[in-house]
A = this chain, B = another copy of it.
């Protein structure tokens, strides 16, 4: 079989090559930067944030697999060969993203930061909370990940709606689409969950203007933001301003404009902000590799690839 090459930035190479060897011991595995061998033998690139120009020289490339959710780094490089880019839509990754979203919605709803603070103060404080259906959750980015999180939040009792670029029809969930319906979607959302891809159009979409359009009718009087999509979607200066002025009640941020988040960012220390280190939907090497291997085998046998990125759309 044709060789495959791992081109990873910021990820542990060995955990990926080990996973692939475990699944297919005979696989010819190359790796960037020191183990690429003869480039013309490489048929598939398995990439995460590949550096510019690295894919350019692979003449017989048949497809690029993006091992994480998000293909912005690949699309940003104009020298990438004109082959299908496969976005891994993996059940495991979807489950993990929904865990993150459901957990953070619940932690805000049940005021876990207040409970943690009470515990530190050894304060017994049986305060009352609203029922879940008092909170309207809006999921911005309503593809596979958003719909799965939405269904789980609905099962937990929250009022869920989804917004996406193109109209989606999901049983029992109100959906909004396109710029024309964005303001109505924002106006009904007490908690905004952002799972958008990063494209030219979505850069800095989470800014002061968007936050001003969110609902003030929820139990906390001001909206809550959960961004588990991409850091470049948010304008952090605006987030900090809105948190300080109370226009934003609280936030959960897993992604940032620059990662790691700078030591002097006010987000680290805000009392109602959860900061995590881009861990919402961790890519598990073994399950992702199983998906990639299955697709490579099918493609080699003349079958189709799944979830091919539309470069014009950006995802």
Contacts and interface: CB of A to CB of B under 8 A. Distances in A.
A118 B152 contact: no
Interface string A126-168: 1111011000000000000000000010011100000000000
A261 interface: yes
A268 B122 contact: yes
Given A122-B263, A279-B126, A98 B156 contact: yes
A110 B100 contact: yes
Contacts of A157: 95, 99
Contact of A106 (B102, B115, B124, B268): B102
A155 B156 CA distance: 11
A115 B122 CA distance: 21
A40 interface: no
A174 interface: no
B115 A110 contact: no
A40 to B, nearest CB: 34
Interface string A82-101: 00000000001001101110
A128 B13 CA distance: 14
Contacts of A112: 103, 107
A276 interface: yes
Interface residues of A, number: 44
Contacts of A115: 274, 276-277, 279
A259 interface: yes
Given A92-B131, A118-B277, A259 B103 contact: no
A157 B94 CA distance: 11
A109 B95 CA distance: 13
A102 B279 CA distance: 19
Given A126-B278, A268-B122, A278-B126, A99 B132 contact: yes
B276 A131 contact: no
A198 to B, nearest CB: 18
A95 B155 CA distance: 9
A291 interface: no
A275 interface: yes
A72 interface: no
B277 A131 contact: no
**Nearest 4 pairs of A and B residues by beta carbon:** A124-B260, A103-B106, A126-B277, A95-B157
Interface of A: 92, 95-96, 98-100, 102-103, 106-107, 109-110, 112, 115-116, 118-119, 122, 124-129, 131-132, 152, 155-157, 259-261, 263, 268, 274-279, 282, 284, 287
